[in-house]
Structure 1
Amino acid sequence: MIDTPKPSEETSETNLQLNSESADINIGTLQDLCENNINFFSSDTSENGQRLNNSFKLINEAVNKMRPVLIDLRCVAVKYTFHDVSANGYYSYLAVINNVVLQTIQLNKKVCLRRSNILFRKSAYTKEVEAYASLMQSLFTFGLHLNTFSAWHKNNDLHFIDIPDEILAKVKEINQYPFYGHNLGFQFCESLRPVLRFVCLSMVIFSEAFYSQGSILTKAKNSVTTTAKYLMDPEERAKRMINIFHYTNLDFLKSFWFLAESELMKQVPIMVGQSVAVSKVIQIPPQALTLHVDNNDVEIPIPHSHIGKRPVQVRLISHEVRQGMIGEANSKTKFLSPSRGLMIHCHGGGFCAQSSQSHECYLRQWAKDLQIPILSIDYSLTPQAPYPRAVEEVVYAYSWALQNSHLLGTTAERVVFTGDSAGGNLLLGLIQRCIVLNIPLPAGILAIYSPTWITSYISPSRLLSLMDPLIPLGFAIRIIKAYVLPSKVNGNQINQLANGEYSSDTESFGEISQSDLVELQAHKSPVSDASESITCGSLSSPTVELKDINKQDLNQIDIVSESNQNTGRSTTSVDLLDKYILESDTETDETKVAVLNEQNNTQGHETSTQSRLVSVVTSLRNRIGNWVTSSHTGTNLSLESNQPFDILEQVKYHAPVDPITSPFFASDDILTKFPVVKLLTTNMDPFLDDNILFGKKLKSLGKNVTLDVLESLPHGFLNFSLISKESEAGSKLCVQRINEILDLDSLPPLQVQS
């Protein structure tokens, strides 16, 4: 049993005192440097000299006004910690201020050292200093209102309860533009700032194509023009980003986030990440499933909500081929004995985007480090499949894995749940369903920056999303509404799907290109007619695995329509499951194409580097063509509106209090039956306070719970583990926590059968 460290009553106060002293010293240093620069530029009569002088004055004034606010917030922060972990939204704001103060100190030092140089470019430094002056002013306003909100906590709850509208409306006074302009990503570690700038630049450029009007030529011309504009002018980029955050819809979010599923992005884990022996997608048929538990039969509900009975898609990832693994009977690789552990994984993506494949960037490394198979569940996504569909599928997939663990190369003696963001939320819901249904529980769960309180209430850490480029407040609210409060429009669409009423512009398989198949199979899309046809076809006929895709020309694979074939199923479980293997991407993770007739699989040919590049470029060309010719004409949404963001309208919704979506509200009787719980998040995560509250509640019930809070990393840092050393370190800590839960070394040795 892993115990949390013994608490110290003085720990939080001591840390607060040390941090406060250090922060005060930094603020004093900044003010001295500002005074020095103010005195120097006060006699400079040039335009840029006066602008620099005024900017340094503004920074100094903002810091002076900020001092009493910081003192108040330090006193509030210490009241809402978990155990001896000094973390919550208040501490996060204090950390943001300290980071900005340090950055502004460095800027002041540069100006002090270079201002007398004949080559000193005042115009270049003017923009940078003005950006920091605006940032300081916005952060002061943010802290001022955060201090006001702090009076609206109840019963040691970090959320602001029953806060009056006129007070909440003060959030609109915060100028968000400085958060997304020149200083974009200022609160995060330095290695991630260029990455975040690239992501945000891609988003604003994508929005121009998504919402623009006119012909293809006009859209292409506008795209080139706006790209140059946003590259050269960070403030213009900031304006566009704010409008996107405030007014865009879920269709845009899904479309943009699914760029991570593009052919080029799929190659990243292969080219720079860890190679694995097994990475294949399996379709689990929606059939009756019964578990035998403690001499009792447990009937597992078949997922049916919103879109009817559909196969559940999962991805099996393993660093080594293990005995019994599905689809590996003919593998020439040496088999290892079955693993004694198994990880059940659910990916993040706000319940509406991403897939197991877009999370392979870290799952592959985990498979090597942990030396256990990983089963990642590609649950159906909102808004086409809102709550409780994803939970139903996760329950079903886990139960299937327990019953068929031998097909996954494991004895499943120790199972660990691991999920990030929305995936962690789903797995916390899965544990509750397991308790109710009497399904065997895992050894424990690692929930990574996962929300545990899905309601309209805001908290200090959730307010930080006002400056977060990856999960801004507007995005978060829309995602929550789509998941727990599906619209009537989506409801009509869902009913049509459930009743089998499909509509598509594609009349037959003959009109579906290879790149279309790649895109449709790359992520589950419950409303995709073509995708559903492919799935149904693969369910009724053998599937040929793409064993070594880099030695096989995709153009030699025939796609055959199965519309007129019989749908007989094999009676043995192994034969049945072999038919549901859609993909084997062990070496290259090349695009998955469902081969619907084994006789049509021609002999593999050597694929040159040139042909592979052509395949990738062709797919990207088709994808861009789809964007440019999109039905989004720009008339559905005005992103150039100067209308202020009305936070009151955004948060005025009443999400039902459901313990499955909000585990914090689970009954004590349920929570006391939870296995080991490890929570891992960051001090810049909007859901930090959720984890603090959930951890405190579990701890009060005597549960084995730990909390890790990493510094200066964003929500979703695992997806950057290949390009950021800090993110990689966070990923390694996740592996350490998973190993602590599994504790495979404590298992008794296997008895060798004679």
Structure 2
Amino acid sequence: QRPPSLSAGMDSAPLLRALAALADDNVSFFGRSGTESGRRFAAAFAALREHGRRLEPALRHFALLCHLFDLDESTPGNGYRSLLQTARCCLAHAVHRSRYVAANRRSLFFRAGHNAAELEAYGDALAQLRALLCLAQKLLARNRPGCLFPPEEEEEEGCGVSELLLREYSTMRNGCFYGRCLGFQFAPSIRPVLQTIAIGLVSFGENYKQHQLGLGVAAGSLFTSGKFALDPELRGAEFERLTQNLDVHFWKSFWNLTESQLLASVASMAASPVGVCRVLAVPPEPLQLPLAADPSVTVTICPPVAHSGPGPVHMRLLCYHLREGQ
């Protein structure tokens, strides 16, 4: 009997077979062209074929095991399953682009440079996903059977798998996930939003490193955002640099842009006003919740504690219409 993970649509074999067949066909076609563009396509498809071949054992391994870490049968979700699904999404996009190239490569309006860059980007993404799957396999091998997290005693001694994962992750190149492949694992409707945020972030970061302050950074970001919108590779490289080198003050400055009076005024003019916009603070008080099995017995849920100790959780209540009871 097949495990639940495979029966739930986690079998990657059809995608891998399709990718291998399309890669072979395109390598054969472009390998005969003798042009620089043809050699670029042939190299990109050869890389996709190799990544697919190397990914197959790891994907099959996790497809057989990821259901063991679900909360229960009706809640199929854990980190291994998410990583497996992300790899499958990337494979699906690579297959889609390969089919498009195979169907339109003889067309007069075929955009060779654009399609070659797309294939190379997904090849880079698959390479990094291969590395992530290798790290996940190391984590799985070091943990106790059936345990999602590493042993606490190893982590306390500083020789645990978390230290190993952080060291190896720091050597990875994640810029490919913020360039042409940005948001490939999400629905198409949300990708423009993610692209807008990424372009705004890297534009803001370029002016932030010049020690500008306040509205000067925001204004400069507006003028430099065009090059990051037109050059996905540059955007991905800059995003990787920002995430690795800039401190928490940069992130606070960026996310606080929406709280400035100028941007709030622009938003109020460009967008429809909401009926409810209220800032709330949830105090750091423990909650007493009854057990589902025995409502007469309660369990105490402690408030979340960060490095600075217990503190209120600030949030904003937004609603388009003001309804009764709000």
**TM-score normalised by L of structure 1:** 0.35
- Letter of the structure 2 residue corresponding to residue 14 of structure 1: P
Once the two structures are TM-superposed, the CA of residue 107 in structure 1 deviates from its matched residue by: 0.6
Taking the TM superposition and a 5 Å limit, the aligned residue runs for 1:679-698 are: none
Describe the SS at the equivalent of 1:193: helix
Matched residue type, 1:484: A
2:297 is aligned with 1:484: no
1:525-582 per-position Cα deviation (integer Å, ceiling 9, x unaligned): xxxxxxxxxxxxxxxxxxxxxxxxxxxxxxxxxxxxxxxxxxxxxxxxxxxxxxxxxx
Question: Counterpart of 2:60?
Answer: 71
Q: Could you tell me which residue of structure 2 aligns to residue 258 of structure 1?
A: 256
Tell me what 1:431 maps to: 287
Counterpart residue number, 1:104: 94
Q: Within the alignment, does 1:182 sit opposite 2:4 as a pair?
A: no
Cα 1:48–1:16, aligned 2, differ >3 Å: closer, same or farther? same
Distance 2:267 2:70 in 1: 39
Q: Deviations over 1:158-212 (max 9, x none)?
A: 2234334456522234321211111111121111111101001111111222221
Given the superposition, is the C-alpha separation of residues 44 and 256 from structure 1 closer, same or farther in structure 2, using an over 3 Å criterion? Answer: same
- Deviation of 1:271 after TM superposition, in Å, equals 7.0
Which among 23, 26, 31 is matched to residue 42 of structure 1? 31
Change (3 A) 1:227 1:97: same
> Tell me, which stretches of 5 or more residues in structure 2 are unaligned?
155-159, 291-301, 312-316, 321-326
Q: Which residue of 1 aligns with 2:81?
A: 91
Contact 2:5–2:66 (CA under 8 A) maintained in structure 1: no
Map of 1:28 onto structure 2: 17
Cα separation, partners in 2 of 1:183 and 1:144, compared to 1, 3 Å: same
Once the 2 structures are TM-superposed, how far is the Cα of residue 97 of structure 1 from its aligned partner?
A: 1.4
Aligned to 1:127: 117
In 2, distance between residues paired with 1:257 and 1:186? 24
Larger relative CO (CA 8 A, sep 6+): 1 or 2?
1
Does the 8 Å contact 2:69/2:146 carry over to 1? yes
Structure 1 residues 267 and 227, CA gap change in structure 2 (3 angstroms): closer
Q: Is the 8 A contact 2:124 2:176 kept in 1?
A: yes
> Contact conserved, 2:208 with 2:217, CA < 8 A, in 1?
no
Change (3 A) 1:453 1:72: farther
Is the 8 Å Cα contact of residues 141 and 173 (structure 1) preserved in structure 2?
no
**How far apart, CA to CA, are the structure 2 residues paired with 1:254 and 1:167?**
27
Amino acid at match of 1:134: D
Partner of 1:54: 43
Structure 2 counterpart of 1:64, which letter?
R
Distance 1:62 1:31 in 2: 10
Q: 2:208, 2:286 → 1: CA distance?
A: 36
Cα distance in 1 between the residues matched to 2:236 and 2:270: 33
Give the 3 Å change call, closer, same or farther, for CA 243–17 of structure 1 in structure 2. Answer: same
Query: Residue 150 of structure 2 aligns to a residue in which SS?
Result: coil
Could you say which residue in structure 1 is the equivalent of 2:203?
A: 205
Match of 1:387 in 2: none
- For residue 9 of structure 2, what is the aligned residue in structure 1? 19
TM-score by length of 2: 0.77
Unpaired runs of 5+ residues, structure 1, are 1-9, 281-314, 316-355, 357-375, 378-393, 396-425, 436-451, 455-482, 487-657, 662-717, 723-754
Give the corresponding residue for 1:113. 103
Counterpart CA distance in 2 for 1:140 and 1:173 is 14
How much is the aligned-residue C-alpha RMSD, in angstroms? 3.7
In structure 2, do the counterparts of structure 1 residues 190 and 221 end up closer, same or farther at CA, with 3 Å as the change threshold? closer
Matches within 5 A, 1:271-670: 275-276=274-275, 279=276, 315=278, 356=279, 376-377=280-281, 394-395=282-283, 430-431=286-287, 484-486=306-308
Residue 70 (structure 1) shift:
0.9
From the superposition, tell whether residues 219 and 88 of structure 1 become closer, same or farther in structure 2 (CA, over 3 Å).
closer
- 1:119 deviates by 2.4
Aligned to 2:133: 143
Summarize deviations over 1:265-307 as a string: whole Å, max 9, x none.
Answer: 577589766853xx47xxxxxxxxxxxxxxxxxxxxxxxxxxx
Paired letter, 1:249 = D
CA distance in 2 between counterparts of 1:20 and 1:219 reads 45
SS of alignment partner, residue 158 of structure 1: coil
Number of the residue aligned with 1:229: 227
Aligned counterpart, 1:382: none
Relative to structure 1, the CA distance from residue 250 to residue 144 in structure 2 (aligned partners, 3 Å threshold; closer, same or farther) is same
Q: Encode CA deviations 1:430-474: one digit per residue, 9 max, x unaligned.
A: 416x99xxxxxxxxxxxxxxxx998xxxxxxxxxxxxxxxxxxxx
| d(CA) in 1 for partners of 2:221, 2:92 | 37
Q: Is this contact kept in 1: 2:3–2:64, CA < 8 A?
A: no
**CA pair 272-187 structure 1, distance change in 2 beyond 3 A:** same
Alpha carbons 1:260, 1:266 under 8 Å: kept: no
Whether the 8 Å contact between 1:201 and 1:231 is mirrored in structure 2 is: yes
What do residues 646-696 of structure 1 show as CA deviations (whole Å, max 9, x unaligned)? Answer: xxxxxxxxxxxx9x79xxxxxxxxxxxxxxxxxxxxxxxxxxxxxxxxxxx
Q: CA deviation at 1:98?
A: 1.5
